[in-house]
Structure 1
Amino acid sequence: MSLKPIKTLDDVKDYLYAGMQLEHATIPTYITTMYSIHPDTNLEAYNLIRVIVIEEMLHLTLAANILNAVGGTPDMNKEGFLPEFPTYLPNGETDFEVSLAPFSHEAIDMFLEIERPAKPEEEHTGVRLKAVNPSQKKYLLPCLKDENDQDVSYYSIGDFYKAIEEGLETLCDELGEENVFVGDKSRQVTPEYYYSGGGDIVPVYDLDSAKEAIRLISEQGEGFEGGIFDYEGELAHYYRFQQLKLGKYYHKGDQADEPTGEALSIDWDAVYPIKTNAKMDEYPKDSELYAANLKFNQYYKNFMDKINTAFNGKPETLIPAIGGMFIIKQMAYEIIKNPIPGQEGVNATPTFEVDKVELLSDEELNVVTPQHG
């Protein structure tokens, strides 16, 4: 699958599906880094990442709402929806890869690349598309192609969603808004079905509500109109992560890159030395570690299936589905605390290889998912 500049309703559906992939792909990398922190240490850093994970789940839901609104079908069960790591993000960025890595300076640098703000308009070329080095051909998620079938890239997630917004505006002008937003309204996840504490769900029924959902996604990531806070006055993801890099909190009135708040205490050594981008076949197949990772991957596939069910006509199931994050945390710790046999000083980590395992129910996995998040 590759994406091209939006010309048709099918094009915008492809972009929104890629948007769901993008939002979800950040969750394994953020929680792997978060769970690598020794329990009861680095609580400020842990909680900072945790809040961003919650908001990424919100962004995933908003992307699904927009896709449903234009008559598309969210499909988190499709092979390749969750890539193997390391991977590039599906908005075309190829100057960095997203990995499953321990809490470190390098991990925070990676997070800052993921959430980086868009460049000022005058620094863009064309419609926010930039040529990609032809030698960088590793695409585990959909790549972008221009009208001449050349590889191109959006610089930031905000640029990617801006292209979706402009595509929707053009299609509404050409086809009529009523012929673009043709989705079943009952498939929308509305506020009573979701609570994150990190922003409100926006049900999408028309162009205005779609633009509102896009605004929330973009501004929570990179800030409002070049500022460090989003429209609601909350610090954007990029600058929350930057606090970890700079070791200092932002306060209201601060400028980008210049936080003036109190020091943020971090113990960079209070971390399990997990292997970056570990794979299932690196764990001995007759070991408890292999069995634990297999069960983790099966449960994570189960977790994705439950969320997918919520996005496909049963929004009332979303809150209990997200309760599965508690099980994911417990299973992850059971893996992360253990060294990999034969690799001295290197601990295991969940591999998130969901396409390599079968989908099993809670009962088959012998787990009980909490009913409330």
Structure 2
Amino acid sequence: MVNDVLCVILGGGRGTRLYPLTKDRAKPAVPLFGKYRLIDIPISNCLNSGLNKIKILTQFNSESLNKHISRTYKFEAFSHGFIEVIAADQTMDRTDWFEGPADAVRKTLKHFNNPKIKYVCILSGDQLYKMDLRAFYDFHVQREAQVSVACNLIDPGEISSYGIMGTDEASKVGEFVEKPSQEDLVRHLRVMRGGRPKYLCSMGIYFFDKEALHELLSRSNKADFGKEIIPEAITDKAVYAYEFDGYWRDIGTIKSFYTENLLLTREDAPLDLFDEEWQLYTRSRSLPPAKYAAAQIENSIVADGSIVGEAAVRNSIIGLRSRIGKNAVIEDSIIMGADYYETAEEIRQQRRGTIPIGIGEDSVVRHAILDKNARVGRHVRIANEAGVQEHATPQYMIRDGIVIVYKNATIPDGTVI
């Protein structure tokens, strides 16, 4: 274990870009890949890298996140490791909330005062990647950096979505441009990789010397690392760019969340969940294996405890405890599953007008996300065949053309969306 590093995971703000998946939960607690949650990604990267001192900063809908952390991550008494959630609070001296990522760290610095901690690694809570943070740590220490920024290579057409770094031959950062609108503004920052022009973009993952972090945050009230703190640090601190050439995606929007989730159903999935040397950790559940009845499953992930009838499931993710009825068709969709099982008697209540959790017989779900505990009746068609881009009702919402059925929502028999 690396004992002089504290990892700080930013839980994010209101999660408006992921709404309605963040309607009743913190952004890091959004379900992922059928059985995980977003927060499991950065935590697993930390633990697989030998970093087991972790604090998670959050302030919105934190109950679900607290529950997941407390039920999932338990260390032995003598390991000296911990994972703690720090929610925004009001004190006698301060009554305001977190105003941004850097402000969240600033207002919780009092919790980072262990003298054995020399470095602080700051990570985002809404990204997909597998990264050995020990290599990043070694890079930071060997260069005697005060700030190190993890960077990924992107194509010129993507520059308007990221902060672009300019470095010298020793990887020292001399320029930082946040989300440039035109390539002409940063053409001089291009690097050639494999004979193609690329740009180094900030991944929003940083290593700080603890003293440098304290100084940078205490000398101003600036709220954002990418837009404000890092550009300011370049003027008088030793800032270096660590190049990470692996798969990395920001999934902070509904469209990116949907797309990157379903990429894992492909045979050549960009993120390997079957690597025993780099496990993705989550809460252990004593659920039975998935059960099928003459079902057709193609390029899909089906989580534990699911029961799939004589249905067709293609290019989809079926979450924990899902029930898929006879003759149902699920395509290009994310079914997040259920928090609990209904009894056989409760399911029989459908005959008396109550729709059970799951997807009913003869229903079709395409290009959709069904949140936890959704009740979809019989002969329902969720496909957005009209191509609506934005729409909202009490039971579902359409964002970027993707239908999202709310958590605990009920879609009556025969509904067409």
TM (normalized to structure 2)? 0.26
Greater relative contact order structure (CA < 8 Å, 6+ sep): 1
Q: Which has the larger radius of gyration?
A: 2
Structure holding more helix per residue: 1
Structure holding more strand per residue: 2
TM (normalized to structure 1)? 0.28
